[in-house]
Each structure stands twice: as C-alpha cells, then as structure tokens.
C-alpha cells in the first residue's frame, strides 16, 4: 500500500524525504539504527517534606529503562497500573524532562539540543487513553482531527481535504465529520483520535491504552485498523497497555515493566507463551486482584506495585513473587517464604494491627496474639535457626517492636531475591530474575 495522502510541496507537515518504506538498511550500507533508541531512561520525582520543603527522597517512577523500536515495528509496554508505563512515554517524548538516560530518534539525540526534541515532536503523535477527555466537546470530529493541521498553518481547504482522506482511512464517513464527541460511539471517538494522530504524517505513534473500555468486538476492529495503518504508513508504534491480549494481537515485541524497571523483553509470542519472569507469567496467566489480603495463590498476583518512593531492595518483585527463592536450608516453599516476606513488609511499614489481632485472639495474651499473627499471615513453622528466628520475630511483633521483628526476619531469611538486584541483559529474549533458567 502506498501512502494515501502526500501533503503538497512546501506545505508544513511534509513527509520526511529521508524516510524509506520498510525500514531496512540502505542497500549495501550498514543497517540503519532503529527509529527510537531509549537507553537508561530515568524519571525521578523529588519527595519534599517539612516547612522548608526540603528534598527527602525520590519517587523512582522510571528507573533505568532501555529499549529500541525499529521502523515499522510495534513494541508493547505492559505492566500493572503504577508500574511507570505512562511516565516512560511522557519522558521519551520529552513532554516531561527525563532525570537520566538518553533518547535517540532517527539517529539524533533528543534533549541535548532543541533540534532533536523538535524533530521528535514533529514526527511523533500520541493517541490518548480516554478520547472523551482528549476530544474537545466544543469541536466537531472533523475540527478535532484538523487541529494539528491548523496549528501547523495549513489552509482551511487543505485541512478539509486532508481530514476527508484521513476519515476515510480510519473508517469514518463524511457524515461523522460534523458530529460532536457526544454524538459518537466509543469506537468512533477512538477513530477520530487516530485520524488526528495521523494528521501530520508521523513516523512514530504512541498509543496509551488505545482500546481501554471498549467492547471486545470494537477493540478487535480498532486493533485491526491500527495494524492496517501501521503497514500502510510504515509506522513505528509503542503500545502501552495493561491488557496482555491487546499486546499479543498488535505487537511484534513486548517489554514488561514492573516498579519503574523492565523485567522482561523479547518477541511477543516468546514472552507471552513462554515467559521467563514470574511477573510476566502472572500477568499472562491471571487477572490481577487489587485485594492485598487475598493471599498468594499459585501463579497469580495479589497486592499492588510497590511505592516507587521506597521500592523493595534486591528484586523489586520479591515482595509479591509467587516463585520467590527460599533461603538455602530453610526447608520453606516459595509460598511459605512469601508469607514470611508479607509479614516483614507489613512490619516495616507499621501495618501490623495489634488491635485487629487482639479481636481475632479474643484478648491480649501474648501467646494468643502470636497464634493470631501466625494465622493471619499463614506463617510456616520451620525447624532449626529459621524457626527460632521467626518465633522471636513474632514475639517482638506482638510486643509492639515492629522494627526489631522486621530486622530479625531480614537477617535470618536472606535469599538472592531479597539481597541482589537482577539485571536485564541485552539480547533477543531477556529477563531479570534470579531463578535459574533451563
């Protein structure tokens, strides 16, 4: 398919003459760099407190994320709410300044000089999560789609022609151009958002939850449309989604994000059908539950992404990992070790509620409280040093000394998952996990 609309010579928004369809390297020359290269991207927000608003810490929303997107390639970025996906998109596009790392767009560094940022913005479009809030209710669908053209100085007649072509391309009729957002269905609004995103002939489109809140059949239509447009315009796409099925359908490769970091990346089928990281396994297998007290059923996720102002040490996923590696010689299973970790996390956060335990124990007798605490967390009763350390920690906890109890657990129940931060290596299908790979 050829590009259906080439803006006239000399008009703003012209297609980049250097772009080649297909994205392969110049014949006989070196392979061209991927369109988007993100290396060690960071976004840390300051945490301030006290009357003087001194900086007392950082929210590490994005903490060293690297990936590449080839020309005409779709990369999916998946992870639960709060894992940092939107912040990656916004810092990558320099809608927010990154606090570290580099971005290259079509071979040019972005951010070191205004040129890179300008070029990136000129050739990038974003489709926002919620078209109801991104479409101005006072503008017709046609006016909304024409907005980027108006800002770039296109004449009215050119705008009308371009919007007519774009609407046809995204499956909307001429009649839809004069409708206001409230007169359009959810799927039609997405199509208007997509038409607007394509208005200036971008090379790269970022889609933030492009099919959220749509019926499954409409979702499929929108994903099919995006696939057709990608092929027709040789678009590079970054799909942000917490929905694994969307990414499976739409993306060549997928990167999995957890607590500000990538934990796995690779070709979509390899990552989703044969995940190497327990977090990906859980995402691919289960619908996450927001109930933190729901326990740790095999392979599923409970609780939420940890506070990025205070991420867990070692592997950030260890506090929720269904496959966490138990300490050597402890005799614990992953689930039993997980229960001990749950207690340590709650102790460290001051979340062990002695009043609640008192109600459960029907009194304040320390032995009854200890039994209630063990039952509440489903704690194991290991032999030897581990058992003695856990019993002492439980005693500290029911005596109200949470810090001492947490320290005891930390010292007695070490494991690589708790101690060491796993790195994501470079490669085709990579994962950051201490579990041995076969």
Ligand X SMILES: Nc1ncnc2c1ncn2[C@@H]1O[C@H](COP(=O)(O)OP(=O)(O)OP(=O)(O)O)[C@@H](O)[C@H]1O
Q: Which is nearer to ligand X, 79 or 148 (CB)?
A: 79
| Choices 34-42, 82-90, 175-183, 316-324; region in contact with ligand X by CB under 6 A | 82-90
Interface with ligand X, residue 180, by CB under 6 A = no
Q: How far is the CB of 74 from ligand X (least distance, A)?
A: 18
Q: How far is the CB of 93 from ligand X (least distance, A)?
A: 13
Distance between CA 86 and CA 126 in Å, rounded? 11
Three-point CA angle 220, 224, 230, nearest 5°: 145
| Choices 85-93, 170-178, 194-202, 367-375; region in contact with ligand X by CB under 6 A | 85-93
Q: Which is nearer to ligand X, 304 or 399 (CB)?
A: 304
Contact with ligand X (CB under 6 A) among 85, 104, 159, 296:
85
Q: How many residues bind ligand X (CB under 6 A)?
A: 13
Q: Any bridge partners for residue 237, and if so which?
A: 74, 205
Contact with ligand X (CB under 6 A) among 84, 210, 266, 314:
84
Interface with ligand X, residue 92, by CB under 6 A = no
Contact with ligand X (CB under 6 A) among 79, 98, 142, 187:
79
| DSSP one-letter code for 30 | P
Contact with ligand X (CB under 6 A) among 35, 72, 78, 87:
87
Q: Which is nearer to ligand X, 75 or 409 (CB)?
A: 75
Contact with ligand X (CB under 6 A) among 59, 197, 237, 373:
59
Q: How far is the CB of 78 from ligand X (least distance, A)?
A: 9
Site for ligand X in 21-50 (CB under 6 A): 45
The greatest distance separating any two alpha carbons of the chain, rounded to the nearest whole angstrom, comes to 85
What's the first-to-final CA gap in the chain, in angstroms? Answer: 44
Q: How far is the CB of 238 from ligand X (least distance, A)?
A: 12
Distance between CA 435 and CA 420 in Å, rounded? 12
Q: Are 63 and 80 within 8 A, CB to CB?
A: no
Three-point CA angle 148, 152, 156, nearest 5°: 80
**Other residues' Cβ atoms within 10 Å of the Cβ of residue 107:** 12
**Other residues' Cβ atoms within 10 Å of the Cβ of residue 380:** 20
Contact with ligand X (CB under 6 A) among 308, 327, 380, 422:
308
Contact with ligand X (CB under 6 A) among 20, 49, 56, 81:
81
Q: What is the side-by-side order of every strand in the sheet holding 36-49?
A: 54-69, 36-49, 100-105, 108-110
Q: How far is the CB of 91 from ligand X (least distance, A)?
A: 9
Q: How far is the CB of 124 from ligand X (least distance, A)?
A: 18
Closest C-alpha to 88, from 284, 257, 264: 257
| Length in residues, the chain | 438
Please compute Rg for the chain using Cα positions: 26
Count, in order, helices (H) and strands (E) of the chain.
Answer: 16, 11
Interface with ligand X, residue 82, by CB under 6 A = yes
Closest C-alpha to 412, from 303, 321, 329: 329
List residues near ligand X by CB under 6 A: 45, 59, 61, 79, 81-87, 242, 308
């Amino acid at each position: 398919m050829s590009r259906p609309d080439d803006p006239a010579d000399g008009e703003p928004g012209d297609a980049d003459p250097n772009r080649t369809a297909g994205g392969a390297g110049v014949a006989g020359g070196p392979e061209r760099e991927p369109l988007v290269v993100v290396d060690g991207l960071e976004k840390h927000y300051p945490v301030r407190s006290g009357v003087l608003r001194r900086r007392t810490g950082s929210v590490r929303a994005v903490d060293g994320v690297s990936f590449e997107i080839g020309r005409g390639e779709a990369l999916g970025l998946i992870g639960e709410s709060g894992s940092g996906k939107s912040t990656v998109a916004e810092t990558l596009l320099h809608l927010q300044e990154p606090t570290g790392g580099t971005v290259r767009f079509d071979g040019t560094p972005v951010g070191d000089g205004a040129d890179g940022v300008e070029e990136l913005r000129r050739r990038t479009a974003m489709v926002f999560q919620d078209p109801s809030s991104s479409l101005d209710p006072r503008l017709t669908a046609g006016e909304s789609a024409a907005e980027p053209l108006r800002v770039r100085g296109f004449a009215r007649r050119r705008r009308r022609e371009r919007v007519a072509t774009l609407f046809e391309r995204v499956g909307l009729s001429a009649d839809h151009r004069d409708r206001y957002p409230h007169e359009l269905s959810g799927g039609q609004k997405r199509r208007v958002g997509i038409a607007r995103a394509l208005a200036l002939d971008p090379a790269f489109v970022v889609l933030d939850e492009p099919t959220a809140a749509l019926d499954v059949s409409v979702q499929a239509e929108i994903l099919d449309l995006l696939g057709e447009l990608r092929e027709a315009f040789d678009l590079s796409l970054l799909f942000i989604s917490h929905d694994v099925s969307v990414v499976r359908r739409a993306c060549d490769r997928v990167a999995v994000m957890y607590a500000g970091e990538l934990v796995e990346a690779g070709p979509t089928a390899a990552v989703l059908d044969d995940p190497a990281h327990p977090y990906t396994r859980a995402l691919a297998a289960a619908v996450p539950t927001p109930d933190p007290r729901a326990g740790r059923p095999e392979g599923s996720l409970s609780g939420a992404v940890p506070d990025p102002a205070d991420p867990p040490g070692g592997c950030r996923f260890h506090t929720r990992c269904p496959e966490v590696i138990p300490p050597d010689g402890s005799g614990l299973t992953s689930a039993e070790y997980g229960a001990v970790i749950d207690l340590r996390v709650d102790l460290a956060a001051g979340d062990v509620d002695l009043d609640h335990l008192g109600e459960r124990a029907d009194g304040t007798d320390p032995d009854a409280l200890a039994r209630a605490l063990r039952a509440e967390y489903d704690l194991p009763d290991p032999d030897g040093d581990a058992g003695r350390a856990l019993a002492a920690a439980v005693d500290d906890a029911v005596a109200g000394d949470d810090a001492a109890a947490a320290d005891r657990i930390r010292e007695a129940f070490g494991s690589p998952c708790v101690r060491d931060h796993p790195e994501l290596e470079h490669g085709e299908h990579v994962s950051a996990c201490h579990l041995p790979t076969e």
